[in-house]
Amino acid sequence: MKQHKPWFDEECLGILDQRKQGKMQWIRDPSQSNADNPNNVRRDASRHFRNKKKAYLRAKFEELETKIKINNIRDLYRGINDMKKGYQPRTMVVKNEKGDLDADSHTIMAR
């Protein structure tokens, strides 16, 4: 499974599961006491996710700052582009025996 959010860990999965269980409990028994619980859990989960993402970004920015201080410009721009664009796999063109373009490396690996 691809992980699109590197800050999303096992703790976040547990909180997400609690949020789903609270909503299912409210759907089964829509009383007022059950209506308040999912809202509180949802609010706490959103707060936790927001803080987790903020801490991840803060650490990433500090890492980029250290790259500036040690004059490692190539890694700095690599990190900036990674944050802006996300991970993008590089495609490599492969030629067959005749010299014609056959396919990229991703389709060859899938075979």
* pLDDT tens column, 3-20: 567 888 889 899 999 999
Q: Confirm whether 13 is domain-assigned.
A: yes
Query: What pLDDT score does 85 carry?
Result: 77
For residues 56 and 98, membership in a common domain is answered with no
For residues 44 and 88, membership in a common domain is answered with no
Query: What pLDDT score does 25 carry?
Result: 87
For residues 104 and 82, membership in a common domain is answered with yes
Q: Confirm whether 110 is domain-assigned.
A: yes
Instruction: Give the global pTM.
Output: 0.62
Q: Confirm whether 2 is domain-assigned.
A: no
Q: Which residue has the higher pLDDT, 56 or 95?
A: 56
Instruction: Show Cβ contacts of residue 103 under 8 Å, excluding neighbours closer than 6 positions.
Output: 94
Q: Confirm whether 34 is domain-assigned.
A: yes
pLDDT(90) > 70: no
Counting the structural domains of the chain, the total is 2
Would you say how long the chain is, in residues? 111
Domain that holds residue 109: 72-111
For residues 83 and 51, membership in a common domain is answered with no
